Structure 1
Amino acid sequence: MTIKRFIAGAVCPRCSEMDKMRAWRDDELEVQYRECVSCGYSDEQSTAIQAQPTELETRVNRPHVSEPDAEASVIQFVPNPSTTKH
């Protein structure tokens, strides 16, 4: 027996009524269903795990091939002599 449950706060895409949508799933077919009890709208969505698309190569996820052109140097901070604590 399938239990159909109302989805709190859900808005129907057809009639825009709130709290009229209910959902249930069929694990054998790997499908999730939802319907509106107000206007009769219904749709289904597959729950089967699908392969993720490969990530596009960008400058952010591409590994660095060379070191940066700038030289590294040491910076020394000298305290300001006019600001002394008493």
Structure 2
Amino acid sequence: MVVAKRFIAGAVCPRCASMDRIRTWEQHGIRYRDCVSCDFFEQLPIEEETPAELETRVNRIRQSQQRNDIQAVKILDPKRK
């Protein structure tokens, strides 16, 4: 069985700091990465579960949004007096 190895565009090798020299492939549920310039090699298990989103000021519910006070808005016609 032939395994397709792909280069990762823009990736920098953690050992030799060469750019665009890292290739990756998957085999038997394990993800592999290596550098073609040096002898860097890494294997990682393929994680099916995505990590939870970090809470930031953008996705956090503000106190003003937590209140359920609904107020009706009445649109006035400027021509009517």
Query: Per the shorter chain, which TM-score range?
Result: 0.5 to 0.7
1:51: how far off? Answer: 9.0
More helix by share: 2
Instruction: Give the aligned residue type for 1:40.
Output: D
Query: Are 2:47 and 1:9 equivalent residues in the alignment?
Result: no
Residues 52 and 38 of structure 1, relative CA distance in 2, 3 Å threshold: closer
Q: Give the residue type in structure 2 aligned to 1:16.
A: A
**TM-score, normalising length from structure 1?**
0.54
Segments of structure 1 that go 5 or more residues without pairing to the other structure are 54-59, 61-86
Structure whose CA Rg is larger:
1
Q: Please report how far the alpha carbon of residue 40 of structure 1 lies from its aligned counterpart in structure 2 after TM superposition.
A: 1.6
**Residues 4-59 of structure 1, C-alpha deviations (whole Å, 9 max, x = no match):** 11111000000000011000001x3x110000000020101101435978xxxxxx
**Which residue does the alignment assign to 1:45?**
44
Separation of aligned partners in 1, 2:46 and 2:20: 23
Q: TM-score, normalised by structure 2?
A: 0.57
Alignment partner, residue 78 of structure 1: none
Q: Which runs of 5+ in 2 are unaligned?
A: 53-61, 63-81
Q: How many residues align?
A: 72
